[in-house]
Amino acid sequence: MPLLNLPLIHPVLGKVAAALRGSAWETDLFLVGGAVRDALLGNTVSDDFDLGTQGDATALVQFLYEAGLADHYPVTYEQFGTAMLSIDGVAVEFITARAESYRGESRKPTVEPADYMQDALRRDFTVNSLRADLFTGEVIDTLGTGLADMQDRLLRTPKDPRTTFAEDPLRMLRAVRFRWKLGFSPAPGLYEAIAEESHRLEIISAERIRDELNKILMLRSASSAFQDLMTLGLLDRMLPEFRTMIGVTQGHYHDADVWGHTLKVLDNSAAAGDSLTVRWGALLHDVAKPVTRTVEEDGRIRFFNHEVIGAQMSLEILRRLKFSERDAVAISHLVRGHMRIGSAPTFSASAARRLWREYGEAVDDLLRLVEADANGLKADVRQLDLGPVRAQLAAVSHATPPDQLQSPLTGGQIMEITGLSAGSEIGKWKAWLTELVLNGDLAVGDESGARERLVAALKAE
């Protein structure tokens, strides 16, 4: 069996081992899961570690806490036999070997203590069932197939895939993610089982699905993963709106239907290393095109207001996936604005002020989405140059915070000058003064100038 230098992977692992020398856990504590897999593959190992034992994990973390290793009191999950300890800022989860499964339509697993073989069999894939002795570094392949599958770059479930997916249907999403994250091939029958069992995803909570989709979106090969999700029928269980994109043609600017274009835009966003917010914007930016498609008499295909309707649809989708309201609004706002740039021949200072006022620091995310979208068009019609746009925005943002691009006069001041009571007329005058600021006809914060312009306008009425 291969050996791993665990303290070299991370000093916290060495620190835990040193604290447990001579204890009952010295012969029964292993690094398990993805960290072992990634270390053997030569991939970057995240500093989020799982340590497994057949003993009592909660007693183990209490021992380490009392030994002074922890940053704070441990967090325990008695139902699952696990506990989390923060050591030098690194989250380490201690797990009691267990068997678990989802019964019927329940969204909560049944958990029972188990030995290492049963624990390995309840894992999602053989390459994730490997464990490394925390004290010797020896890698143990409990199932006897994990190392061979890793060498063959094969994604295989420990049991019959239907059984593994029945125990936790979220593993179907994880199968797609690991295929494209690791560059593995699905074992024979794996994808066929997912297609047959895709309906089981409906018992999984929206929060777990959301978290898995977020991880898939952050892959460099996210577009390939989403095509798999579509082909296997998984996307229909989570985001049925996307099925309607297939076969929706878009006219001479595109060489793909709406679904194909969406995957291109997502691929562009991933290649640019965009944030999760932008990648969700890329995935959702044309979600309303199937419901807004019209064909004019001259044959031109149009999608009137697809960005506005798409923003509302995006908000509903993201709320369904239990995104925070803040994140849902931020993503839907990108969808709403993805057509704001590119249609005008020039980008004026006034346009920059309006965009900066509306988007603030999120304007860079919007530009990234616009760029990814434009690069998803046919090569011979890509004409977008965001250089001048970024230059105008840089000048505006340097000069003025976005919340100052508004009327220099408050509603109360306008009521005082006009003699009007609170109501729509006050709002009209305040909006008019804001427009003067955005057009550059009135300086930011110029109360005196605003008063003069308002008095003159009142006299002219």
Q: What is the pLDDT at residue 380?
A: 58
Instruction: Say what the pLDDT of residue 297 is.
Output: 85
pLDDT at 29: 96
> How buried is 403 (Cβ within 10 angstroms: 0-12 exposed, 13-18 middle, 19+ buried)?
exposed
| Chain centroid to CA 144 | 35
Cβ distance 102 to 109 under 8 Å? yes
What whole-number distance in Å separates Cα of residue 170 and Cα of residue 207? 11
- pLDDT confidence bin for 105, thresholds 50/70/90: low
pLDDT at 107 over 60: no
The pLDDT assigned to 342 comes to 65
Tokens of 251: 């006219």
If you count them, how many residues does the chain have?
461
Phi/psi of residue 19, each to 5°? -70, -20
Q: What is the mean pLDDT of residues 321-331?
A: 98
Q: Which of 15-24, 42-51, 67-76, 393-402 has the lowest mean pLDDT?
A: 393-402
* Tens-digit pLDDT profile for residues 385-407: 888 899 999 988 888 888 888 88
Question: Residue 440 corresponds to which amino acid?
Answer: G
Q: Which residues contact 441 (CB under 8 A, 6 or more apart)?
A: none
Q: Does residue 344 have a pLDDT over 60?
A: no
Tokens of 232: 């296997």
CATH class belonging to 153-238? mainly alpha
Instruction: Give pLDDT tens digits for 333-343.
Output: 999 999 988 65
Q: What is the pLDDT of residue 160?
A: 96
Distance CA 396, CA 47 (A): 41
What mean pLDDT comes out for the span 9-34? 93
User: What pLDDT score was predicted for residue 384?
Assistant: 77
* 3-class state of residue 58 by DSSP: helix
Which region among 84-93, 229-238, 354-363, 442-451 has the lowest average model confidence (pLDDT)? 442-451
Q: What angle do CA 266, 377, 224 make, to 5 degrees?
A: 30
| CATH topology assigned to domain 253-404 | Hypothetical protein af1432 (1.10.3210)
Percent pLDDT > 70 in the chain is: 96
Mean pLDDT of 295-299: 88
Q: Residue 332 in contact with residue 346, Cβ under 8 Å?
A: no
Which residues of 62-203 form beta strands (DSSP E)? 75-77, 82-87, 90-96, 98-101, 110-113, 131-133, 139-140, 154-155, 185-186
Give the rounded percent of residues in the chain with a pLDDT score beyond 90: 65
Q: Domain-by-domain residue ranges, the chain?
A: 1-151, 153-238, 253-404, 411-460
* Digit-coded pLDDT (tens) for 123-159: 999 999 999 999 999 999 999 999 999 999 999 999 9
Mean pLDDT of the chain: 91
**Confidence (pLDDT) at 94:** 94
Contact 356, 405 (CB under 8 A): yes
**Rounded distance between C-alpha atoms, residue 444 and residue 423, angstroms:** 24
Does pLDDT of 103 surpass 80?
no
The pLDDT score that the predictor gives to residue 210 is 98
User: Are the C-beta atoms of residues 314 and 349 closer than 8 Å to each other?
Assistant: no
Give the range among 20-29, 241-250, 263-272 with minimum mean pLDDT: 20-29
1-151: in CATH 3.30.460.10: yes
Asked if the model's pLDDT at residue 453 lies above 60, the reply is yes
pLDDT at 104: 63
Q: For the residues 399-428, what does the mean pLDDT come to?
A: 85
Mean pLDDT of 339-351: 78
Distances, alpha carbon 378 to alpha carbons 252, 255, 374, in Å: 8, 6, 9
Q: What does the pLDDT read at residue 182?
A: 97
| Alpha-carbon distances, residue 297 vs 82, 244, 249, 301, 302 (angstroms) | 65, 24, 16, 10, 11
Q: What is the pLDDT of residue 442?
A: 82
**In this predicted model, which residue has the larger pLDDT, 186 or 409?**
186
Residue carrying structure tokens 């390459």: 127
